[in-house]
Structure 1
């Protein structure tokens, strides 16, 4: 139950922050062009899929690498790590939206850190679920 409260609370904060970002950007009369809308669409789509992934994890969502349940349905049927994928694409959308293209260098750092964390999580999942996880890994992308 505590995990669920944490999960939904952090999602609420993400949505609140997103709303503040968008409204303050447009109120500031910042540069608005096709990059703005491409970035905005990418952020919205990413946020929807990120939310679906977090909700599907339910009580399995952990800040640290733990293995409670192996979630293989919903978006997890096709993508092993959708929270990371869509978190990454959200940040990409943010840099496109704000047109801070040198910030894309930050994405390289995020990618390296995410891959490290994913490897740690996958080690824990293989230890807990063994062949079931290995087979699941073969049937899914990233």
Structure 2
């Protein structure tokens, strides 16, 4: 099992830019590619638990100053100014991991128009799905 976790983590790291070129140079990820990287139970869809695992790792990677929050600079354009304001209910100008995961959850829900609790490649290719992928890459 640990080999699979390590391989899955390496695949996620590569897919979401941890070990690759800066985001500005990264090619947009297709829905099918995202499914392959995130789908740990291999059911050809991703659920919120799988997305939250990637989002949590993304938060940790982005959080450079060890203050437990992300500011606009650390987010590197993943949220617009309005998106950051919406994700920041305490209006402190930063988002903590709980707020970040809430924003991810909201984007997941927006990308799930059939409300089945999973996203397939087609749903990830929608504008809402692409917005979700932008936040977790």
Q: What TM-score, normalized to structure 1?
A: 0.31
Question: Which structure's CA Rg is the greater one?
Answer: 1
Instruction: Decide which structure has greater helix share.
Output: 1
Instruction: Decide which structure has greater strand share.
Output: 2
Q: What TM-score, normalized to structure 2?
A: 0.32
